[in-house]
């Protein structure tokens, strides 16, 4: 079958090939025919080693499709069901799923799913990015890694929920817990940042400031609910104008660079919350003064997959979409075919797009 494969970490391009086979499902697995998959910055990060990913691997982790085959123990979904792929599935039984109420942090299935090859090419094992591997006509997943949705939801729209939209909106709603009437600054207006802006808007933020290097992104941000949209050098002016210089109640960092993580912390007021959504490299460091941590009493919090319980949150986001409160259609900059993946990855590197969706 057709798939886009990362041959070696550091490669600039993926290899689009029809030589990949899918492994047989185990008793608790499903095979999903991928109809649509979004291209996320994390795919670029898996290529350049920012996100560790064994190679060769089928990349892609933001997908939706139709169940094609189920293992003998699977009763939760059936052949023909429409599903969204989950890249960090909750096992449902561990301490993170139950005691800590953080099913997004469950690693029981994710690590196994990342390390066990899902595909092969001849007799060579081929991995699946984040255990998902959606840049392929089909993928093999544990049953907990799919969420069944109504068949009337367009699957291109649904695919976006699988990563970028859940991550950004969830960071605002679940992790930072943006409150009505608050002031919010969002760094980065890509797919994740635009979803964070929409999450802040849904939460009732009074002011939402988008920050991006790219002028087109600033226009996009206003379209999705940003009340102000500025270049990084104009953040201090916006902070003065909106907060009298105190700083914003919330910052959501949706880029993944040490400088913008630090800038997010600096942009919030004493007692505010800076939520880090972007993914930087393991060896990159962010510095804090040993005095300011106590003195400023700021909350610095990471957000992994938008702090989601996918089993309920995916449906909540789709209801917001159906009511016209979450614009997903407008987030699709381009619809492309799998053989256009390399220019699409280049557009992500340049920050030119919100989301590009591959249609199989």
- Residue ranges in contact with Zn ion by CB under 5 A: 40, 42, 163
The answer to whether 167 contacts ligand NAD (rule: CB under 6 A) is yes
DSSP output for 191-217: HHHHHHHHHHHHHT-SEEEEE-S-HHH
Q: How far is the CB of 319 from ligand NAD (least distance, A)?
A: 22
65 binds, among Zn ion, ligand NAD, none (CB under 5 to 8 A by kind): none
269 binds, among Zn ion, ligand NAD, none (CB under 5 to 8 A by kind): none
**47, 192, 197, 242: which one contacts ligand NAD (CB under 6 A)?**
192
Beta strands of 129-258 (E only): which ranges? 138-142, 146-149, 183-187, 207-211, 228-230, 248-253
Pairing of strands 207-211, 183-187: parallel
The answer to whether 351 contacts ligand NAD (rule: CB under 6 A) is yes
Residue 151 CB neighbour total at 10 angstroms: 10
Residue 293 CB neighbour total at 10 angstroms: 12
Which residue's Cβ lies closest to ligand NAD? 190
Query: How many Å apart are CA 242 and CA 75, to the nearest integer?
Result: 53
213 binds, among Zn ion, ligand NAD, none (CB under 5 to 8 A by kind): ligand NAD
Q: Taking CB under 6 A as the criterion, which residues in 196-255 touch ligand NAD?
A: 211-214, 217, 232, 254-255
Distance, first Cα to last Cα, the chain:
11
Binding mask 285-314 for ligand NAD (x = CB under 6 A): ------------------xxx---------
Q: How far is CA 314 from CA 53, 77, 158, 275, 357, in A?
A: 26, 16, 9, 21, 18
Cβ distance to ligand NAD smaller for residue 113 or 303:
303
Q: How far is the CB of 149 from ligand NAD (least distance, A)?
A: 20
Residue 214 region by backbone torsions, left for phi larger than 0, else alpha for psi between -120 and 50, else beta? beta
Cβ distance to ligand NAD smaller for residue 60 or 190:
190
Query: How many Å apart are CA 321 and CA 156, to the nearest integer?
Result: 13
Residues facing residue 273 across a β-bridge: 250, 299
Cβ distance to ligand NAD smaller for residue 10 or 232:
232
Residues that bind ligand NAD (CB under 6 A): 40-42, 45, 163-164, 167, 187-193, 211-214, 217, 232, 254-257, 260, 277-279, 303-305, 348, 351
């Amino acid at each position: 079958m057709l798939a886009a494969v990362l041959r070696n970490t550091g490669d600039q391009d993926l290899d689009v090939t029809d030589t990949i086979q899918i492994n047989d499902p185990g008793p608790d697995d499903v095979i999903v025919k991928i109809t649509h998959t979004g291209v996320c910055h994390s795919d670029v990060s898996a290529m350049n080693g920012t996100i560790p990913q064994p190679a060769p691997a089928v990349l892609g982790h933001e997908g939706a499709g139709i169940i094609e085959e189920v293992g003998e123990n699977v009763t939760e979904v059936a052949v023909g069901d429409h599903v969204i792929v989950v890249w960090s599935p909750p096992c449902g039984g561990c301490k993170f799923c139950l005691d800590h109420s953080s099913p997004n942090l469950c690693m029981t299935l994710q690590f196994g799913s990342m390390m066990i090859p899902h595909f092969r090419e001849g007799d060579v094992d081929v991995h699946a990015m984040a255990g998902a591997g959606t840049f392929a006509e089909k993928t093999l997943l544990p049953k907990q890694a799919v969420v069944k949705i109504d068949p009337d939801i367009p699957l291109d729209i649904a695919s976006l929920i699988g990563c970028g939209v859940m991550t950004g909106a969830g960071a605002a709603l679940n992790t930072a817990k943006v409150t009505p009437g608050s002031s919010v600054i969002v760094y980065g207006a890509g797919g994740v940042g635009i979803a964070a802006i929409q999450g802040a808007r849904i939460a009732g933020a009074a002011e939402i400031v988008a920050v991006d290097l790219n002028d087109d992104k600033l226009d996009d941000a206003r379209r999705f609910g940003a009340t102000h949209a500025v270049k990084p050098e104009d953040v201090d002016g916006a902070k003065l104008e909106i907060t009298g210089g105190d700083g914003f109640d919330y910052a959501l960092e949706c880029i993944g660079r040490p400088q913008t993580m630090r800038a997010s912390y600096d942009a919030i007021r004493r007692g505010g919350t800076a939520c880090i959504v972007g993914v930087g490299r393991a060896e990159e460091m962010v510095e804090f003064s040993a005095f300011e941590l106590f003195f400023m009493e700021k909350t610095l919090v990471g957000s992994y997959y938008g702090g989601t319980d996918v089993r309920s949150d995916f449906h909540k986001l789709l209801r917001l979409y159906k009511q016209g409160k979450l614009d997903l259609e407008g987030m699709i900059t381009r619809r492309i075919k799998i053989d256009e993946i390399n220019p699409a990855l280049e557009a992500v590197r340049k920050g030119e797009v919100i989301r590009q969706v591959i249609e199989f």
